[in-house]
Amino acid sequence: MVARALPSADRLATGSDGEKNYMEPQDSDLTALSRRWVRGVRANRRIFVVEAVALIFLGAVAIILPVVATYAATLLVGAILLSVGVVQILSALKHRTASGFWFPFGIGLLASLIGLLLLLDVSAGATSLTFLLILVFTLEGVTKIIAAFDARKHLTNWGWLALSGLVSVLLAALIWGQLPFSASWFLGLMLGINLIFSGFAQIMLVLAAPRL
């Protein structure tokens, strides 16, 4: 006598009359989205690879010429802030009769002024952005260290999280100690490292797409 295979729980449902009805499993929205993304990567492999190679090349240039990359990044941030600020101001003026007009207008004006200052004085702008990154690194490092010690009873590898936070704090202190000299190269160096890692990550995703 051969035993019948029982249906899995995800394919079995109870009807209104108490009988068991079979239901086909459906992909979740996340799974469907992932599959569409993989199909897109497969269909545009060459474009993704060319873009990744370009990112790695630009990252290498930024690391070799960090001062140039720092000034370029500062000009780019300034241009973006100025553009966003102008658009915000025009949008606020278009709806100046609406309530709360001064808040978006003030935000746009502030963004425009900061962007204009970055464009007019690139050296001071690079220094300001470096100060901002020092603050971010410090806050990130302190947060990681606190989180690591809070979770040390539940995580066996909490020391790696604490070490990562300590490195962030030490890096912030190193950059602070090198100011204002570090302001001329730090942004460019970080930009180059980020571009290279982004490029390599994109290549690995392209290579892994056929197996996903």
pLDDT digit string (tens) for 80-106? 889 988 988 888 888 777 666 777 888
pLDDT at 44: 74
Q: Please compute, for residue 191, the number of CA atoms within 13 A of its CA located in the half-sphere on the CB side.
A: 25
Among 200, 60, 189, smallest CA distance to 133 is for: 189
Higher-pLDDT residue of 148, 87: 87
Q: Is the pLDDT of residue 8 over 50?
A: no
Q: Could you tell me which residue, 115 or 160, shows the higher pLDDT?
A: 115
Give, rounded to a whole angstrom, the gap between the first and last alpha carbons of the chain. Answer: 41
> Token pair for residue 63?
């690391």
pLDDT surpassing 70 at residue 17:
no
pLDDT for the residue 20? 47
**How many whole angstroms separate alpha carbon 142 and alpha carbon 168?**
8
Residue 60 pLDDT: 92
| Rounded average pLDDT over 15-41 | 54
Q: What is the mean pLDDT of the chain?
A: 76
Across the range 179-187, mean pLDDT stands at: 78
Q: Is the pLDDT of residue 209 over 70?
A: no
d(CA 125, CA 115): 9
* pTM of this structure: 0.60
- 150, 102 Cβ separation under 8 angstroms: no
CA torsion 77-80-82-87 (nearest 10°) is -160
Top pLDDT among 26 and 152 is at: 152
Residue in the structure block whose two tokens are 């086909």 = 24
Q: In this predicted structure, which of 37-51, 74-88, 192-206 has the lowest mean pLDDT?
A: 37-51
C-alpha span between 187 and 195 (Å, rounded): 12
Question: Which pLDDT score is estimated for 57?
Answer: 92
Pairing of β 20-22 and β 12-14: antiparallel
Rounded Cα–Cα distance for residues 212 and 202 (Å): 15
